[in-house]
Structure formats: C-alpha cells, structure tokens
Structure 1
Amino acid sequence: MNLIAVDDERLALENLLLKLKKVLPEAGIKGFTSPQAALAEIENGFRPDVAFLDIEMYDMNGIELALCFKKAFPKINLIFVTGFSEYAQNAFSLRASGYITKPVCVERIREELENLRNPIPEEKQRIRVQTFGNFEIFVDGEPLKFRRSRTKELLAYLVDRRGAGLTMAELAAVLYENQQYGRSLQNQLRVHISDLLKTLQRAGIPGMVVKRRNFIAVDISQFDCDYYRFLNGDVSAMNTFVGEYMANYSWAEFTAGRVHFKQQSIKQD
C-alpha cells in the first residue's frame, strides 16, 4: 500500500508520518509540505492508494489538491486531516473516505484505514529482485537490461543496504575501493547514478530509487526481494539460498556469510 501525506505545517506533517509508520510500517509513505511537490511526485511515477490531506494550506488548499489526485487516480482514498470541522461537508462532497480532526492519533488513523471507501486490491509487485545466486532485476517478468555493468552493481549495493541511505563518498568507497575519492571519481559516480535513474525511468519504475542531494537509497516497499523475505522468515526464500548471494560482486561476501550463518542456525533449531 502506498500513502501520501500533505500538510504545509512541518511539525504536523512529521507527527502524521510518525503515526502512519506505526500503523503501516511496511507501506510506502511519502510526505510533503508543498502540494506542488506532492503533485510532482505522482507525475514521477508514485501511485498512492490513500492520500492524507490538510485542508488549509497556502497556494493550493486540500480540496483543490484532492481534485487533482482524483483526476489522476479516480479510485484514490482521500482522508482529510484538519483542525477545522466546518470543512467536513466540502470534503465528503468529493466522496472522501474519511475525515480526521487534529491532533491525529494512531487509533483514528487505523480506523480510517480499516474502513476505506475504495478497497485496495492485492496486486503482485511488478519488480522482483533476485539476490541469491547472481544479482538480477525482473520487471513484469522480464529481466531489466543495463547499459553499464557498474550501474547494475550500484543498484545491487543499494538493495544490499535494504533502504539505508548512502552518500556519494560511501558509495565510492565500495564501488571504487582502490581509487582515491576526488573530483574525477565523483563525476564517474554521478554518471552511473544518472544512468541508473534513466534506466528505471525507461522501465516505468522510477520510484524504486530515492535520490536527494548527496543521498541515495532504494524504496524497499516498491519491490519483492528474496533476501528480504529470507530475513522475514519466509520458508520458500530460505530454501532457495544454496550458499551464493550476489555472487558477481566481491563486496557481497560479508552478507553471504551472514545469510549462511542464519540459515544454519535455523536448521539447528
């Protein structure tokens, strides 16, 4: 499930995001203080199932933003979060799913998500990541092709990090371990990051990677991964591991050792 939250009061937004993550820790959650930034995110490929919207905002209010979301996603569930109850009638004229008055609490969020106007069908994820054996990415069942091998290795390392963000220097230390980190190396890395983002865009999966200034990570909610399922105790994933993890990359040996140790520990239990 993908959620998007928009509130131009940063503290209110952070509070809402914190509670959303408590209710749905595995969901893909995006938060914005700017309605325009939220609209840009969906134009870049993010597909929210539920939108939590403040109503009184500068430039564009929550009702206007909801109309834009409904135009893009007719079945989106709209939940308005506001301190002004007098807006309820306007909100429900848009066939909103719910209405929460501030301050928000976990119980009200959970109640609204359990009673959505438009049920969210369970869909098989388009992206499947294979880490046991060699590293491969499949989109709609077809292997994703990379123009540069280093670009593929970059994505592999981001997957290995399981959503943890990396700086340019941290990436360079792994991908170019024998080269001094300087301007030339920074330029090389920028080329490969740009190539990765373009590759994902062409494949129609731009949301798989999150890129900000000196920060890059994968969004683990966007894909299925045998390694992640293994860590979550999935029996079928455990059975597919036969000793090799991203065998095409030397830096993956440490994780391979951890996976092997965990598998042996489970067998002994």
Structure 2
Amino acid sequence: MLRVIIVEDEKPILDLMERLVGQHPMLEAVGTFTSAAEALTRFGELRPDAAFLDVEMPRMGGIELAEKLKAIDEELQIVFTTAYPQYAVDAFRVSAVDYLLKPVTPDAIERVAARLSKNHALRSAKSDAAAAEEPPVRCLGTFETRGASGALMGWPTRKTEELFAHLLAYPNRIMGKWQLADLLWPDLEEERAIHNVHNTVYRLKKAFKEAGIAVEVTNANDGYHVQLPASLSDLGIFREFMGRTAAVDQWNADEAERHFRLYLGTLFGGKDYVWSTGLATELSEQYGSLARMLASHYRETGNRAAMKETMRMYLSYEPLDEDMNARLLRLYAENEEEESFRRHYAHYTRLLDEELGIAPSAELRMLSERIL
C-alpha cells in the first residue's frame, strides 16, 4: 500500500480527496493538510510515497511545495490537482506523475493509483537490481534494450525491433526466412517480403555490433539461428525461474520475491505485436502462479504483512483476478480489518460492474454481509 499525503487549502475539497484516496485499496492517506507550510514541516515524519498537491494555494502554491518536497526526497511521486489546465507545463517541470482536473473523480484516482503503483514497483525492482546485475533487455512492462555502455538503444526500424522481440520470445530456435516473412509482412507479396527479411536481419546484426551486445545471428537451413542466454533479458530470467519452480519455501523465497518484482506489467509494454498475445497471456498466468505461491509461503510462515503486500501488488496489474481478490478479502476478514475489507470490496465491486457488468460471487457477497 502506498502512503499518501494530500494538500488542499479548501476543506470540502480536502475531505473529498481524502475520501476518494481512502476508498482505493492501494492507497493510504497518512496526512491531510490545508496548509502547504504544515505539510512541509510534517513531511519528514510521515515519509509518504506520493503527494497530491493543489496547485493554487495562498502563500505557498503546489508547484513551489513540490520543488521543496522533491529536494528532500527525490523519489517522491507528485500528483497535482487544479481547476486550471494551463498549469500543466509548470507541473511537468517538477516531474509530476499525473495532473488531475477538479472535480476529481474515482476513475481519475484509479488511473493515478495504477501509475503510482507501477512506478513504485519499478523503483523497487531497480533497488533489487543494485545487488544483482540488471539485464540489458527489459520486456516486462516496457521494451528497452541497453548497449554495453548502458545507453538506451534506438532501432533503425520498427520491424527490426519487432524481429528482436520475436527472437526474445522464442529463443534458440531456427527461424525460417519464409516464417519470418509471413510473420512480419503478411500482406506483402513473397519476393518483397523475403527482401525485407534479409534487410531487417542485416540491420539487427549491425545494431547489435554498434551497441556492443554479444549476440550472434547465423544462417541455418534457409533461415536464421540466434543463441540468446536467459540472462540477456528480464523475460528470459523470469521464464527460466518459473520453469524450475513448483513451490516457494524457505530455500528459494528471497529469489522468488526478486523474480516477482521483476514483473512490471504487460509483455513488451503492450506493443501491438499480434503474434505475442498468447505469450503475454501465458506470462500473466505464470505471474499469478508465482503470486499465489509467495502468498501461500507467507501465510505458512506467519508473515501476513508480506502476504497482503504480495496480493496487492499482483492486483495492481491484474485487478479482476477473482481468486486473488477473494483471497485478499478473506485475509482482511480473518484479521478483522473491517475498513480495509470495506474499501477493497467496494473497489472490486465497482470494477466488476464497469468492466464486466457482473457482481461479486455469492461467496464474497455473503462474506461482505457478515463482515459489514
């Protein structure tokens, strides 16, 4: 759960913001202020992960307050609220995560919460990577490749990048040139498509060489073969771990936690590769499996705080997972956390209605009636 402060000089709007933030299962309002100066004074004590700041306040406005807070904690995530969209340029000068127009709605809070959670998970993963070398290619939640110097690679064409994505998705296989032609240029006539394959493979080899990445593309059986070690990408590392893990126990719990945090969202950042849809679904299922194994391990060891955090993080990516929502709600009920149960049940109910047009299961409705 992310710790949030809210600074708004108009008390009715402050109360509304506190209620909207409090209704979201991933956010916890740890401080609310009508005075920017008071928020600044209390900041060190509260140590929030994010701050919702009104832009237009007397004496010290939200932009100035954000600059002072970021000087104390550069990792703080800032969200501005205002009735005047012309402040957007100033907001982004201090690297705001988002910019909300008043009146703020539950949907706007939902959008912001997803971004805040993803950024928080990304920073956690980067912190973990400080103890272990970060792979040069990231495929989970984004698609980025860094060369030997650490600089972000730019691809000569979109098809060159897509070809590399396909090789990462299906590594260490011989890819026939006709297969690649049909995959990448299904609408072109054969001769032109094959010509494009040859050019794109050449560009890929050249990009690897210029970036100092030791990946060799060789001709084989009227096609191409590329040997890609699992350590090259977060995708390879995650799949390798899941391929050899049937359960989480005391021996592999730390490693499982690191791999759980490696997963930062949709494969290739949701890039529109038609051929990747099935693999993206498979990875999402593996991520769910890992989340359940971790949650079960934390339950067995009595670490309910870690169990809750695991389920919440998973649900920030897969918010409609019925089984995981039920597990989290049952945990709240067992712990007699009535307010957390109420907020999450209301959030889940609204999502089901808006996205699928259905209500929670009979079991959860009965549980809600008993708890609430």
Instruction: Using structure 1 for the length normalisation, give the TM-score.
Output: 0.44
Larger Cα Rg: Structure 1 or Structure 2? 2
